[in-house]
Chain A
Amino acid sequence: MSEAEVHTSEERQTAAAGRECCAQLLRLQVPADAICWHRFFGALQLALIGLLFLTGVLMALAYTPVPGTAYDSVDYFQFSLPFGDVVRGVHHYAWNLLLVVMGLHLLRALVLGAYKSPRQPVWISGVLFLLVMPLFIITGDLLPWDQKGYWSTQVRFSIIASIPVAGDFLLQLFRGGPLTGIVALTRLYVLHILLLPGALVLLIGLHMYFLGTRGLSGPLSGNAAHGPKVPFLPDIVNRWLAVFLLSAIGLGLVAWQWPAALGDPADPTDSAFIPRPEWWVLSLNQLVAIFRGPFMVLGSAIIPGGLVFLLGALPFLDRSPERRPSKRLGVMLAAAVVLAALAVLSVMGYVEHFVRPEH
């Protein structure tokens, strides 16, 4: 066979594989309640991530990751380019909403026992999101090079440095030098727009793959396999597009009405600036504040890390096939205690930082 014939044959095979993939998608039948009025957190999460990607790409077109000009480029994007404030606002609000939706998605799966066999990999891949998402925040907050982002990053770097054994290495990895400057900004920028999105896409793919192979969690009683099915294309895709459009319009309106704040430019010499933690990190901040000095690592790494580990290991700790919450009192009680602790820590953090700030 000549070289030209080999090429032609390969092209035919590729085209055939593509056609087969499309045909499979068209034939794909999924449970009718995959996206519906009582199961939409996953779809909403994907829609918000999509919005974050889109708005992030638009912002990256105007952004310059250099300390001297980063702030001005964000200021220019937000206030001088048409709809810049809406785009940045959507990025800001989508992120905040994503954290809430992620929490609710996880809570729903926990309460309804969706982590049980055979869906353990779906659960574990979902818990892995909890490890990636905070990195987006850590890397993204510094990018506008404003006072809040700069000093929040300093606080986070000091927490990272307190992690035993790996702390100094991780700090060096993020910061790239003794000071938070151009190297740190470049590294966090690359992480934020390249490496972390790559990891996130991989995780989403993995989560979807396990969803496809292990199935959705069905009703608490009865057999989901016998439930009604609908074609993935166009039914489910159209429903997801509706979620995406509604989210985009809703967040766009919110961003238009209340633009995302842009503080003052960072001044690394202004140690008088004390950043106040965001709502979602109040509990973690409080944990760090409770365990001071040599015990700081308890609050900064061991307790949060241990909780994530326990969450990931849940399918192996609770192996019974029972999914009804009333029959899983141990897990429910433990979840309630953790949630209550997080709520109390958040309230304590709120009081400390916003109601009675000492500084």
Chain B
Amino acid sequence: MSKWLIAMIAAILYAAVVFAAAPSPDDTGVMTITARYVKAPPAGIDDPVWQRTAQVQVPVTGRLEMAAVNEIVSTRALYTDGELYFLLSWEDPTRSVTKESWQFDGEKWVHLKGDEDRVALLFEIDRINLFSSKSCAVVCHSPADLPRSQWKLATRTTAEKGDLWHWKAARSAPYRHADDGWLTVAGNPSGSYRETGRRNDAGSGGDVKNETPDGSRPLYMQDPARKPSAPGFLLVEEAVPIADYSIFKAGDVIPYRLPVKPGGSRFDVKAESRHADGRWTVMLHRKFNTGQEDDVVFDPRKRFSFAIAVFDDTGGDHSKATRSLVLNFKR
């Protein structure tokens, strides 16, 4: 056998292995976000490494009354040896952080109109049936056989668990994090007018309403002795009860929802955000493995189904969400 023939056979065997190693790009209708490996973590939103990372233009679409609303979320992902980073950017001409703040009109306190902008990411902790193909439709909204007025954001069985990263412009951004929650079966009536499967991760966080028991005016104000660590927001730890309402003049504004200092597993997802030139840009990052049962464990060998939803100036579930997305990792 000539050496050329042997070389040809070796080439054929090598080609077979290469072909087998190449992932088959099935026409799934599922968009893939590929996280690129970097040795050093990005320093922030403006780190040049993001510019060298391919962005995927992920369409988000509303449903029901918002069905005609379509937008694009530019999505990039990076990972280091132990942490995953997302950079999300979407068009939003107005920075909404009002969240029904109080305003004194000279006689009484009224709530300002306006809510907040948000973005949420949902992953599977334990496989949620059909999530990889149907995306949020199987959890974020009521299934066809259940009334929408009674049920939202839940899984069908306790064996199915989701991991929810919820960045809120008025309530989590001041503490530079995304509220880390998880998803299970409905049955949690608190926090919503409908039954929901949303649960908070272990630890502290969230927000409290700033109002007197009769709901007529704010209860707290910024501690005059402390410099606000997040200007424009009122953090619970920097708030003091209002002793004298006569110090306020017409037009004064006091936040209605006061972020509570996050801690524990609820503080696993760190965030940086900026609103500029009519766009939100949010960087989210979290350890691959937090060691908590209420968090998905990322493994760069695997692919992960997930979904993104953006909310524009709303406190409800009027979101624009992606179809099924897949996150994979590339070295």
Contacts and interface: CB of A to CB of B under 8 A. Distances in A.
User: Do A and B associate with each other?
Assistant: yes
Nearest to B21: A258
Interface stretch (B43-51, B69-77, B221-229, B298-306): B298-306
A357 B25 CA distance: 11
A269 B138 CA distance: 13
Contacts of B134: 267, 270
B20 A97 contact: yes
B329 to A, nearest CB: 11
Contact of B24 (A101, A265, A273, A276): A276
B27 A72 contact: no
A276 B25 contact: yes
B20 A72 contact: no
A96 interface: yes
Contact of B133 (A259, A267, A354): A267
A333 interface: no
B4 interface: no
A175 interface: no
B132 interface: yes
Contacts of B301: 78-79, 85, 259
Contacts of B12: 100, 104
Interface in A49-91: 71-72, 75, 78-79, 85
A97 B127 CA distance: 33
A275 B127 contact: no
A264 B17 contact: no
Contacts of B324: 264
Given A79-B299, A254-B17, A273-B29, A261 B132 contact: no
Interface in A237-292: 251, 254, 258-259, 261-265, 267, 269-270, 272-276, 278-279
A269 B143 CA distance: 15
Interface residues of B, number: 31
A278 to B, nearest CB: 7
A254 B127 CA distance: 28
Interface in B1-24: 1, 6, 9, 12-13, 16-17, 19-21, 23-24
A247 to B, nearest CB: 10
Nearest to B9: A104
A264 B28 contact: yes
Contacts of A85: 301
B236 to A, nearest CB: 41
B130 interface: yes
Nearest to A251: B17
A38 B1 contact: yes
B326 interface: yes
A279 B15 CA distance: 11
A265 B27 contact: no
A92 interface: yes
Given A93-B17, A104-B12, A354 B25 contact: yes
A116 interface: no
A147 interface: yes
A359 interface: yes
B8 to A, nearest CB: 10
Contacts of B302: 75, 79, 262
Quick one: which of B6, B16, B299 has the most chain A CB within 10 A? Answer: B16
Contacts of B129: 265
A72 B129 CA distance: 11
B202 interface: no
Contact of B23 (A79, A93, A99, A261): A261
B110 interface: no
Given A96-B20, A147-B28, 19 more contacts: A37-B6, A75-B302, A96-B16, A97-B16, A100-B12, A104-B9, A104-B12, A254-B17, A262-B302, A263-B26, A264-B28, A264-B133, A265-B129, A267-B132, A269-B133, A273-B28, A276-B24, A276-B25, A276-B27
Q: Lowest 6 CB-CB distances: which A-B pairs, in order?
A: A96-B20, A264-B132, A267-B133, A100-B16, A38-B1, A274-B27
30 contacts: A71-B127, A78-B301, A79-B299, A92-B20, A96-B17, A97-B13, A97-B17, A147-B28, A147-B132, A147-B133, A148-B26, A251-B17, A259-B301, A261-B24, A262-B303, A264-B30, A264-B132, A264-B133, A264-B324, A265-B132, A267-B130, A270-B134, A273-B26, A273-B27, A273-B28, A273-B29, A273-B133, A275-B26, A279-B19, A354-B25
Interface of B: 1, 6, 9, 12-13, 16-17, 19-21, 23-30, 127, 129-130, 132-134, 299, 301-303, 305, 324, 326
